[in-house]
Structure 1
Amino acid sequence: MTSEADLDTEEVPEQPTWSRWVIIGGALLAVLLIGGAAGMFLTRAVDDPGSTATPARGSVEVGFAQDMSTHHLQAVTMAGIARDRTTDPQIKQLAFDIERTQLEQVGRMKGWLMLWDQPEQAIGAPMGWMTEPMQGHGGMSAPSSVNPSGGALMPGMATDKELSKLRSLSGREFDVYFLQLMLRHHEGGTSMAQYAAAHSSLPALKALVNSILISQGAEMDQIKLMLSGRGAQPLPA
């Protein structure tokens, strides 16, 4: 017979690692779905009631929603790699925050595209909605990446070669390179968001842009401090 003392000292089996990640993955999927519902609601509720026009293909609104969704999803991919690979609690928390925030924002933008009857991804090269030179902070050109295979990349996005390098690293080298790539990625996304806000009158888009600028601005400040604390610098412009 098992005594109460035996029950008190009996060890509770530790939850398997895979189970914890399944729970986290489910939570992130829920965030994406909630974001999509929020995107549809905000488009209906916040849009100018005096305007019946729906953003058309090639417009700033449609192009931004398509390209920024793709841009965000790469950040989510890099954050997922970091969350699984790093042993640094600060990096893990930053990665989780990026996944959660950007998946919710992607959900909003995909909700808009569905309401506007537009494809989730742009047809042809990205950034076609930007008809004027894009400027970054302080009037400097926004940071960009060059795809070795010749395809165009959006500002700040990592190339396939850079992502392969990230996956090959470990320890401090991994942490530093992740922070460097994510800082450049956020800088590029910030410039895209600023351009969209300056060239669109859609209240829902302006509200999202404000959210992006606040969240990514705080994360960029944090990343710079984390790089400095690890004796590293941002990637060359």
Structure 2
Amino acid sequence: MTLRLTRTHWASISAVVLALLFAGAATVASAGDDGGTGTAATVPAADSAEAGFARDMAVHHQQAVEMSFIVRDRTQDEEVRRLAYDIANTQANQRGMLLGWLDLWGLPKVESGTEPMAWMSSAGSAHAGHGGQSGHGEHGGHKARDGSLMSGMATKTELDQLAEASGKQAEILYLQLMTDHHKGGVTMAQGCADLCTVQTEKSLAQGMVDAQRSELDLMADLLKKRGAAPRG
């Protein structure tokens, strides 16, 4: 399945993305001096938690945007459409900031030979069990399959099922898939909140944790109203 986003979809995303991207650029640029002393701040390494989180969460967020636009075309329910619109805008904005930081740091958006979420193993304790490489093709206990690269990500088959569903069926499947997606996202964002040292990125990660936990509660309520529950 190939998702086609309309001009209206992209217009609704791009204006805020650009605004936040420039804001993020200004914030990071202003952080480039240490207290105004003229000493340049250390740029994160390519294998750092900062770079790993930016790369991986950008990929994770892109799928959330995709799923949200799919469901907006598969249901007329205003509650679900409003949630999907909010998630699409928020995560597209954050994705733009993460990729913008990688550009500012002069770091690649794709790190060849590095498994997704491997940066989380640098904690050496709690996060190693969540994000470290636990075997070939596995990331934090998640086995990559059918396009699902990281914890919480939907498979290509599930995306196809969402695109083919309609009405209440589409609403329930979207809410279940996005619940899984948010749970994986919260784990990864908490990893950065604990491990990252660049304050702007650390703060963004903590904001993701707080917002997505709130949305998890909302989605549980929306599922209950439809006689359903989160998977697993």
Offset of residue 194 of structure 1: 0.4
Q: How many percent identity over aligned positions?
A: 39
Aligned length: 209
- AA of the residue aligned to 1:119: P
CA distance in 2, matches of 1:235, 1:191: 17
CA distance in 2, matches of 1:184, 1:143: 15
Which deviations, in whole Å up to 9, do the C-alpha atoms of 1:66-110 show, x marking residues without a partner? 000000010000001011221111111001000111111111111
Offset of residue 44 of structure 1: 2.3
| 1:82 matched to 2:82 | no
CA distance in 2, matches of 1:96, 1:24: 10
Which deviations, in whole Å up to 9, do the C-alpha atoms of 1:192-235 show, x marking residues without a partner? 00011111221011110122123212211110100011110111
Gap runs ≥5 in structure 2 = 1-5, 122-127, 132-138
Question: Residues 105, 162 of structure 1: CA spacing in aligned structure 2 closer, same or farther, 3 A cutoff?
Answer: same
| 1:126 matched to 2:111 | no
Question: Residues 90, 96 of structure 1: CA spacing in aligned structure 2 closer, same or farther, 3 A cutoff?
Answer: same
1:162 corresponds to which residue? 158
- AA of the residue aligned to 2:108: P
2:16 corresponds to which residue? 31
Which deviations, in whole Å up to 9, do the C-alpha atoms of 1:35-78 show, x marking residues without a partner? 22122122223467266210011100000000000000100000
Q: If you compute each CA radius of gyration, which structure gives the higher value, 1 or 2?
A: 1
CA distance in 1, matches of 2:140, 2:43: 31
- AA of the residue aligned to 2:19: I
Higher relative contact order (CA 8 A, sep 6+): 1
TM-score, normalisation: structure 1: 0.81
Which deviations, in whole Å up to 9, do the C-alpha atoms of 1:90-138 show, x marking residues without a partner? 1110010001111111111111000111122332321121212228xxx
Which deviations, in whole Å up to 9, do the C-alpha atoms of 1:147-200 show, x marking residues without a partner? 435x77211000111111111211211110000000110010001000111112
RMSD: 2.2
CA distance in 2, matches of 1:155, 1:219: 18
Runs of 4+ in 1 over 2 A off after TM superposition: 21-25, 44-48, 121-125, 142-149
Q: How does 1:100-115 map to 2 (within 5 A)?
A: 100-115=89-104
CA distance in 1, matches of 2:87, 2:227: 23
2:3 corresponds to which residue? none
| 1:148 matched to 2:138 | no
Which of 199, 204, 209 is the equivalent residue of 2:205?
A: 209
TM-score, normalisation: structure 2: 0.83
